[in-house]
Amino acid sequence: MDYRIINIGTLAAHPLWGERGEVRTPHATTTLIRAGDRNILIDPSLPAEILEARLRERCGFGAEQVTHVFLTSFRPDLRRGLHLFDGATWWISELEREAVGQGMVAQFEQARDEGEFELADLMRSEIALLRRFEPAPDHLADRVDLFPLPGRTPGSAGLLLPLPRYTALVCGDAIATVEHLEKGQVLADCFNIEQALESFSEAIEIADLLILGRDNVVVNPTRRPF
């Protein structure tokens, strides 16, 4: 098993750089995990054309060889390039699937009842997209395990990679950037701040390397160098 960063993400505005208001287009860190006969792409955040080019630059093959897609959450900016992988299996945590689905159904019914047909149509298409996802198993492949990290969204989750010499964790937005890691902070617009802080603590407790949601892969500063 190995992993590779396909794209380093960024925030629309980085509060720990003193930025206020959107100064760039946000996108998530995209990671590829190769384990046995599975090529698992995490958070296909870039537009499809750009993501296809990045895949070929970073790993030498294209979208047709991606067998599975995993979303750390259902937030729209994590899935811009999703339909590039229509032939793959799509995974998301079961808790995220259920919580987000229930919320969207409620929004759809309210919009329909109040005559907000544009919003109702949007919710209908989002519900159809979510139904395309299968609940992620506890073990996605050899040495690739689901790791719940709720708080950013109700059921956000990462992937734990217990390798022989160290353990890596794909964090998603549970830890956004190296500055958030150093300051022990989570993103301000989390669904549940208390849960998000607990997930942050669990992430740094278990992993030696952290693949951050809007940044690069970094060494856990609470661990000794290795």
What's the confidence (pLDDT) of residue 111?
96
- Would the pLDDT of 223 be above 90? no
- Terminal-residue alpha carbon distance, the chain: 20
What's the confidence (pLDDT) of residue 173?
98
- Would the pLDDT of 151 be above 80? yes
Number of Cβ atoms within 10 Å of the Cβ of 214 = 24
What b/e string do you get for 180-213 counting C-beta neighbours within 10 Å, with b at 16 or more? bbeeebbbeebeeeebbbbbbebbbeebbbbbbb
- So where are the chain's domains? 2-93+136-219
Residue 10 per-residue DSSP state: B
pLDDT cut 90: percent of the chain above it: 97
Mean pLDDT score across all residues of the chain: 96
Q: How far apart are CA 148 and CA 85, in angstroms?
A: 24
**Res. 119 pLDDT band, cuts 50 70 90:** very high
**Res. 70 pLDDT band, cuts 50 70 90:** very high
Residue 64 per-residue DSSP state: G
Give the mean pLDDT of 205-223: 96
Burial of 140 (0-12, 13-18, 19+ CB in 10 A): buried
Q: CB of 81 within 8 A of CB of 7? A: no
Which structure tokens are listed for 43? 């958070």
> What is the 3-state secondary structure of 91-139?
EECHHHHHHHHHHHHHHHHHHHHCCCHHHHHHHHHHHHHHHCCEECCCE
- In this structure, which topology does domain 2-93+136-219 adopt according to CATH? Metallo-beta-lactamase; Chain A (3.60.15)
- Would the pLDDT of 226 be above 80? no
